[in-house]
Amino acid sequence: MTDFPPPAVATYGATGPAAPLVVLLHGRGSDELEIIGLAEHLPRGAAYAAVRAPIPEGDGYAWFANRGVGRPVAESLRSTMGWFTDWLDTVAPAGRPVVLVGFSGGAAFAGGLILDDPARYVAAAILYGTLPFDAGVPVTPGRLAGLPTLVARGAQDTVIPRDLLDRTWAYVNGPSGAPAWAVLDPGGHGISPSTVAELSGWLNMRLEFFTEQGRGSTLAPPWVGLPSLPERTGPFPSTSTNTPQEQLTQQSPPVLQEQLFERLSKLPGVGTRDSAISVPGARAFVVRKPGGPAEAFLVPQVGEFAHLHPPYDGSLHLALPPALAADALAKGWSVAHPLAGLRVTPGMVMVFGPRDEDELEVVAAVVATSHAWATGALES
């Protein structure tokens, strides 16, 4: 319970209690009546609710979106998140999918909510704002694993400090573990028509996928050939945003790439071919007798469960049960595919190429686990 007044809410779209709920959170100088207009340009079939920030004079949620850090800010964020979730629980009980879309200061508030309880939401969009770093919510590797997240920023934005925009961009597109879709707007601090179009298409994909397939497998087995997955040492490699997804730094030596390819080619019942989904030169691993579920594959029609990218890259894409994908993301071995949970299996990740013989053993075990899932041999 909090001392805040009941939320002022503007609504749009579907009215059924089971319809996906998209919550719109405004920024400084705005209110719920202004941001609800965004819903007119977003997918039909969802329910939209714009919630007024419990701050006077239209300050939005910007009170912790800028430079405030430390205990007072953390306590203020915590109390406001409690006020919001008390309301949310009344309109979206367990089982109703909820998406957060926050602009500017509202983006920081949305970020606080997903970092505090990522399992509560099925997607989030952080628009022209920053996550609430140093405000008492976890910003750890793999924290947003399995949560499709769109992050948009303006190249000429002078409202939000540039270092915070950079930090948010880097975290969401890398160590967060989120299947991230990145939008770089050439303009400033305002939602452009092109960003609205990107948001609408992305949101439509996520809602359709979630309605049809949900969050994915709940299987949580051990890794094949490993007592546990170790932490990957060293800094996080640079990767591309969006598609095609590539590893840009810390590439695996070509000799190790070939050793890995030969080793994986000898897994039971595995064949190789050109990838049916990746860039030219990518080599796919396929199972001749699939025994696992469709979500254990990158391309179920051909049995492709993994592929190795060309030598200039050296990383792999593969499918894992979401729980194991989250472990690989948190331990620093991979990043989520930008379309995981939107167009491809929720557990699709890009695993970094091995830099030495020790890493070769770990990466081979990760792929062997993917293979075991695809063949139906993986057990919890």
| pLDDT tens digits, 229-280 | 999 999 999 999 999 999 999 999 999 999 999 999 999 999 999 999 999 9
What pLDDT does 77 receive? 86
pLDDT interval class at 69 (50, 70, 90):
very low
Q: Which residue has the higher pLDDT, 166 or 58?
A: 166
**Would you say residue 293 lies in a domain?**
yes
Flag whether 22 is in a domain: yes
Together in a domain, 201 and 348: no
For helices 254-265 and 357-375, what crossing angle results, to 10°? Answer: 30
Q: Is residue 190 part of a domain?
A: yes
Does 176 lie in the same domain as 76? yes
Residues in the chain: 380
How far CA 22 is from CA of 88, 233, 346, in Å, comes to 11, 39, 20
The arithmetic mean of pLDDT across residues 157-174, rounded, is: 95
Of 156, 185, 213, which residue constitutes the final position of a domain?
213
pLDDT score, position 5: 83
Q: Which domain holds residue 314?
A: 254-375
CATH value at residue 295:
3.90.1150.30
Looking at the structure, tell me whether residues 112 and 187 fall in a common domain: yes
- Indicate whether 244 belongs to any domain: no
- Residue 191 and residue 128 in contact, taking contact as beta carbons nearer than 8 Å: yes
Rounded mean pLDDT, 88-104 = 96
What local confidence, expressed as pLDDT, does residue 57 receive? 44
What local confidence, expressed as pLDDT, does residue 73 receive?
65
> 284 lies in a domain?
yes
Confidence of residue 63 (pLDDT cuts 50, 70, 90): very low
pLDDT reported for residue 74: 73
Residue 175 exposure: Cα atoms within 13 Å on the Cβ side: 17
Co-location of 206 and 143 in the same domain: yes
Q: How many domains does the chain have?
A: 2
Answer yes or no: do 207 and 329 share one domain.
no
Task: Tell me the whole-structure pTM to 2 decimals.
Answer: 0.94
| Inside any domain, residue 35 | yes
**In the prediction, which pLDDT does 160 show?**
92
Domain end point (choices 213, 241, 276): 213
Buried b (16+ CB within 10 A) or exposed e, 259-280: bbeeebeebeebeeeebebbee
pLDDT at position 59 over 60: no
Q: Is residue 218 part of a domain?
A: no
pLDDT at 201 over 90: yes
Indicate the pLDDT class of residue 72, thresholds 50, 70 and 90.
low
Is residue 120 in some structural domain?
yes
Position 145 pLDDT exceeds 90: yes
Do 197 and 293 fall into the same domain?
no
| Mean pLDDT of the chain, nearest integer | 93
The widest CA-to-CA distance across the chain, in whole angstroms, is 66
158 plus 299 within the same structural domain: no
If asked whether residues 21 and 165 sit together in one domain, one would say yes
Residue where a domain terminates, one of 153, 186, 213 = 213
For residue 359, give every residue at least 6 positions away whose Cβ sits within 8 Å of its Cβ, in sequence order, or none: 232
Are 358 and 282 part of one and the same domain? yes
In angstroms, the CA 321 to CA 370 distance is 8
SS3 for the chain, per residue?
Answer: CCCCCCCCEEEEECCCCCCCEEEEECCCCCCHHHHHHHHHHCCCCCEEEEECCCCHHHCCCHHHCCCCCCHHHHHHHHHHHHHHHHHHHHHCCCCCCEEEEEECHHHHHHHHHHHHCHHHCCEEEEECCCCCCCCCCCCCCCCCCCCCEEEEEECCCCCCCHHHHHHHHHHHCCCCCCCEEEEEECCCCCCCHHHHHHHHHHHHHHHHHHHHHCCCCCCCCCCCCCCCCCCCCCCCCCECCCCCCCECCCCCCHHHHHHHHHHHHCCCCEEEEECCCCCCCCEEEEECCCCCCHHHCCEHHHCEEEEECCCCCCCEEEECCHHHHHHHHHCCCEEECCCECCCECCCEEEECCCCCHHHHHHHHHHHHHHHHHHHCCCCC
Q: 348 and 272: one domain?
A: yes
Domain of 135, CATH number, reads 3.40.50.1820
337/352 Cα distance (integer angstroms):
12
Q: 197: how many CB neighbours lie within 10 A of its CB? A: 12
The amino acid occupying position 325 is: A
Bond preceding residue 179 cis, omega within 30 of 0 = no
pLDDT bin (cut points 50, 70, 90) of residue 55 is low
Same domain? For 209 and 324 the reply is no
186 lies in the same domain as 285: no
The pLDDT of 129-145, averaged and rounded, is 95
Token reading at 321: 């049960």
